Amino acid sequence: MSTPPTDAALVAAARSGSDAAFARIVDRYQGPIRTFLRRLGPYTSDADDLAQETFLTGWTELRGLREPARLKSWLFSIAWRKAKGEARTMARNRQRDHDWQEIRPDCETPETERAIALHQALAQLPPDQRAAVSLCLGDGWTHADAAGVLDMPLGTVKSHVLRGRTRLVEILGVDS
């Protein structure tokens, strides 16, 4: 079985014009990036639009990527910048957020119940804390890597994760 190409190899191929290579980059990171952005905002469709913009910006700025092996962190940094850019809109839509928290689908499985509960709990955290929690607790990033992506001091990220985790446990009513 052939080993999958490394990020650096895919970046090199995409830089030389291979759409197939860029499509593989999209496939490789669409899941984590969409999940990250969905956890930052209330609307899945908005988050997916933002994720598409993230990849489009990634494609445009691919030549500026200094360390191709750090492709994942770089894409997440773009996603975070875009999410912060949307912050004003999100603030304007705070009422919409509130309405959204009231929405409950007709047909719920334990999975969707848990997902909705998590979204509602995350919505109560400040955006920076939400992002740090999403990366470190949701996606298994180290504090140092998350600090790099979010452009925050390491201590701030650690504090965000600790406080965010405590708050989530409290809101969700699970035993820590």
CA–CA dist 143, 150 (Å, integer):
10
Query: Of residues 115, 142, 151, 170, which one binds another protein by CB under 8 A?
Result: 115
Q: Does 65 contact another protein by CB under 8 A?
A: no
- Hey, what are 141's tokens? 């990033």
Report, in Å, the least distance between residue 115 CB and another protein: 4
Report, in Å, the least distance between residue 114 CB and another protein: 4
Q: Which stretch binds another protein (CB under 8 A): 65-73, 84-92, 118-126, 149-157?
A: 118-126
Q: How many CB atoms lie within 10 A of CB 136?
A: 22
Within 72-101, the residues that bind another protein by CB under 8 A are: none
- What is the sign of the dihedral through the CA atoms of 95, 97, 102 and 104? positive
Q: Does 160 contact another protein by CB under 8 A?
A: no
CA–CA dist 6, 165 (Å, integer):
33
Q: Does 165 contact another protein by CB under 8 A?
A: yes
